Amino acid sequence: MPENISFFAALAVGFFGGVHCVGMCGGIVGALTFGLPPEKRERFGRLFPYLLAYNIARITSYTLAGAIAGTIGLLGLSLAPIQEAQIILLVVAGLFMILMGLYVGGWWFGLTRIERAGSRLWRFIEPVGRRLMPVKTPTQAFGLGLVWGWLPCGLVYSVLIWALAAGGPLQGALLMLGFGLGTLPNLLAMGAFAGQLAAFARKPWVRRVAGGMVIAFGIYQIGLAAFDLAG
């Protein structure tokens, strides 16, 4: 049950939080597709396979990173007794759900400061992506999408820290998969529909309802931990 809650909470964070980053990511999509011939770049039907390849690969990288984070968290918590480790996982996951809910609701954006931590890693990964440009085929687009998934982003890194407390590699991977799928509509649906979707997700009441739901999930997680501790 907690894993399902985490997945859907991450999905909501990806969708509503992704609107905040769509300007930057939209610019990246534009830059990545700039090398395509005009007849492919200007017709959505021909551009779509490239957009799909970028985003499937990006979400694949997120999922892999989530599995790595979940493994690291599990190894760290293996030093503690099982019951204590489970309580720690629930509390940390609950706290990060609350912080992400505050971000989604537009009440607090402190999590974006985590972005600076990934800039050093990006220096090693970015040259790999440069060799794949300009993009000529969907296969190239997929390779570049794998690199894009490691781009420094405070929102992504915040969910990765949340994945540390997911409970293991599978749980961490599912958490990041949910987040990645949540970001997909805003980045895949280019055009008028995407504009309508983004406009809906930007409405204050929509963001507050979504943020409140994620916060409620976090409080529920912490409540489970308190119940286990009392038991």
DSSP string computed for 125-189: HHHHHHHT-S--SHHHHHHHHHHHTTS--HHHHHHHHHHHTSSSHHHHHHHHHHHHHHHHHHHH-
pLDDT value at residue 27: 59
The answer, yes or no, to whether the previous bond of 134 is cis (omega within 30 of 0) is yes
What pLDDT is attached to residue 25?
A: 61
What's the domain range around 29?
A: 2-230
Task: Please report, to the nearest 10 degrees, the dihedral formed by the alpha carbons of residues 112, 210, 192, 54 taken in order.
Answer: 50
d(CA 70, CA 124): 23
Q: What is the pLDDT of residues 164-200, one digit of tens each?
A: 888 889 999 999 999 999 988 877 765 444 555 556 6
Q: What is the reported pTM?
A: 0.80
Give the pLDDT score at 33. Answer: 67
Residue 126, pLDDT score = 74
Residue segments in the chain with a per-residue pLDDT below the cut of 50: 1, 191-193
Domain count, the chain: 1
The Cβ of residue 136 has, within 10 Å, a number of other Cβ atoms equal to 14
Give the list of residues 6+ apart from residue 161 with CB closer than 8 angstroms, or none: 69, 96, 114
The dihedral region occupied by 84, where left means phi > 0, alpha psi between -120 and 50, and beta the remainder, is alpha
In the three-class reduction of DSSP (H, G, I as helix; E, B as strand; rest coil), residue 76 is classed as helix
The predicted pLDDT at position 96 comes to 80
Q: Taking a C-beta distance cutoff of 8 angstroms, is the pair 10, 175 a contact?
A: yes
Please tell me the number of Cα atoms within 13 Å of 157 on its side-chain side.
Answer: 17
